[in-house]
Structure 1
Amino acid sequence: MKQEKLPSIDDSCNHLEVSEYVDEIYQYYWVTEAQNPSLENYMTIQIDITPQMRGILINWLIEATFAYQVVLLVLQVHFKFDLMQETLYLMVSLLDQYLSLVKINKNEMQLVGLTALLLASKYEDFWHPRIKDLISISAESYTRDQMLGMEKAILKTLKFRLNVPTPYVFMLRFLKAAQSDTKLEHLAFYLIELCLVECEALKFKPSLLCASAIYVARCTLQMNPAWTPLLGKHARYEQNQIRDCAEMILRFHKGARTALLNVTYEKYLRPDHSGVAAIKPLGQLPV
């Protein structure tokens, strides 16, 4: 039987997409992801911090930046203190990588998180927050020298390798393959962000998390088929391979409204995120 020819998802006329290099770029991400060690059980090396503390920290970092932005707007300070999507995912990745290699005390936890935010902003954003502003949202718990020292420690430990395959880079590609609209995009990002505070999600590779989040989102929005040949080609997973991860994400979706760490739920209730957090979760995935 002749195999169906699938359409291209790249726009060769848009030079910003660098379509001539996109295959090489994503091949690098796939190879790097495969070579990276699993972080599933990394918390076992830590003595003074717990998975719950990690979740609380990530939830706080997202919440604190949004709250601080509101304060600046009220004071008519003309710059934003906001997390770009890229920065959010890189921040969490840097945090987890560092904690998988270095034992820390619980009183250093917030410092590591804020410094991961600083590094991610420097790498991904057009600008980065000032150190004094980061210190201010920690209620002056640390000094400038402490943050600069932690910045050096993280960079040295990670060997200055910040170009890591985060869920964000895979999500961009897979959403193009899903030929998504805004609602699907927001719902898929909502589901993947729910995974950020959960250590359980670390047992799945970023690409699998993204493929599963899109699958659950398409099922939730009753899109048929839930998984397409184009998604299979670019995500490199078949529907049966994403089942376990999708079940976990559905469980997070069901518990999001009543979860203690609910900043992502509140964020995605807003109109600028299509209010997707208000969408009723599936009872179960299709058989």
Structure 2
Amino acid sequence: MTGSKLLEERDEAMKQEELLSIDDDCNQLEVSDYVDEIYQYYWVSEAQNPPLENFMLIQADITPHMRGILVNWLIEVHFKFELMQETLYLMLVSLHSCWHQNTRIFWHPRVRELISISAELYTRDQVLRMEKLMLKKLKFRLNAPTPYVFMLRFLKAAQSEPKLEHLAFYLIELCLVEYEASRFKPSLLCAAALYVARCTLQITAAWTPLLCKHARYDVSQIRDCAEMILKVQKVARVGRLKVTYEKYMRPDLSGVAAIKPLERLPL
């Protein structure tokens, strides 16, 4: 079935089904009056800043394997200090952006307490100087369209419960370590992870008109990315970089890492 045919069927389904609002107008924290404009900014920003799939070619000092080790360590640091979830994703965007500008550095967290986990190799002044350098390179633009902001929106459209939410974020976090995943746009990565999570939990339907509306993708468009995510999930238990796997074995994260991956995605 062609992509255009799927789009026609999606449009027809949307005409036949009244789609529910996913926003709570009574909750001021949701800023429902502005949420469409906020996400329109994210969509436009994402389109203007394509995935940095070849940025490692610019950095002769950093290999994909070294990148994986660094990101795995940063996930561990993030979890150890119980930082906000969004911090992890902003960190990775900032890291990639600096590398892409050929800044021949390794980025180290700016939080003073983190100096101790780097074996006291850096002084406070060195960390602060590096922070200033990064901010200048990024032109102080820190509000980026990360996988985190898209996943929050897509999970609302999925009318998710905690287990689905934890599994979707687990799959995304596994992908942070994988250089291969950097070739996909954040929104596409999130849509594919949510699709794999719903398929894994055998939720019917795996993809709904409401998700089509807010994620702006059909199943045919997320298929390749979903296959990549499933492959990463299958090897998570036996991989060398296992911080995310061990983290999501915890009961407070629904132990989703223990869920058996699908043999294959549904046709």
Same fold (TM over 0.5): yes
Residues 7-34 of structure 1: per-residue CA shift (max 9 Å, x gap): 1000101111110000000000000000
**Aligned pair in 2 of structure 1 residues 35, 254: CA closer, same or farther (>3 Å)?**
same
User: Which of 160, 168, 182 is matched with 2:162 structurally?
Assistant: 182
Would you say the 8 A contact 1:39–1:100 is kept in 2? Answer: yes
> 2: distance between equivalents of 1:83 and 1:252?
25
Matched with 2:6 is none
The letter for the 2-side match of 1:25 is I
Matched with 1:249 is 229
The letter for the 2-side match of 1:249 is I
The letter for the 1-side match of 2:223 is R
Matched with 2:147 is 167
Q: Does 1:207 align with 2:218?
A: no
Would you say the 8 A contact 1:212–1:245 is kept in 2? Answer: yes
Residues 5-62 of structure 1: per-residue CA shift (max 9 Å, x gap): 2010001011111100000000000000000032001000111111111110111122
Q: Does 1:96 align with 2:76?
A: no
The letter for the 2-side match of 1:54 is R
Matched with 1:121 is none
* Larger RCO (CA within 8 A; separation ≥ 6): 2
Would you say the 8 A contact 1:45–1:103 is kept in 2? Answer: no
Would you say the 8 A contact 2:50–2:185 is kept in 1? Answer: no
Matched with 2:87 is 87
Other structure's SS at 1:19 match: coil
> 2: distance between equivalents of 1:205 and 1:54?
19
The letter for the 2-side match of 1:31 is V
Other structure's SS at 1:188 match: helix
Matched with 2:5 is none
Q: CA deviation at 1:83?
A: 2.3
In the TM superposition, structure 1's runs of 4+ consecutive aligned residues that sit over 6 Å from their partners are none
Would you say the 8 A contact 2:188–2:222 is kept in 1? Answer: yes
Residues 187-239 of structure 1: per-residue CA shift (max 9 Å, x gap): 00000000001111011000000000000000000111100000000000011
> 2: distance between equivalents of 1:170 and 1:65?
20
TM-score for the superposition, normalised by structure 2:
0.92
Other structure's SS at 1:195 match: helix
Matched with 1:29 is 42
Matched with 2:259 is 279
> 2: distance between equivalents of 1:90 and 1:256?
23
Residues 54-106 of structure 1: per-residue CA shift (max 9 Å, x gap): 1101111222344xx4xxxxxxxxxxx222211111111111111111242xx
For structure 2, the 5+ residue unaligned runs are 1-11
Deviates more, 1:270-279 or 1:144-153: 144-153
Q: Does 1:39 align with 2:52?
A: yes
- Which aligned pairs between 1:1-287 and structure 2 lie closer than 5 A? 2-66=15-79, 69=80, 81-104=81-104, 108-109=105-106, 112=107, 114-115=108-109, 118=110, 129=111, 131=112, 133-287=113-267
Would you say the 8 A contact 1:40–1:203 is kept in 2? Answer: yes
> 2: distance between equivalents of 1:84 and 1:281?
28
Q: How well do the aligned residues superpose, as a CA RMSD in angstroms?
A: 1.2
Deviates more, 1:53-62 or 1:163-172: 53-62
For structure 1, the 5+ residue unaligned runs are 70-80, 119-128
TM-score for the superposition, normalised by structure 1:
0.86
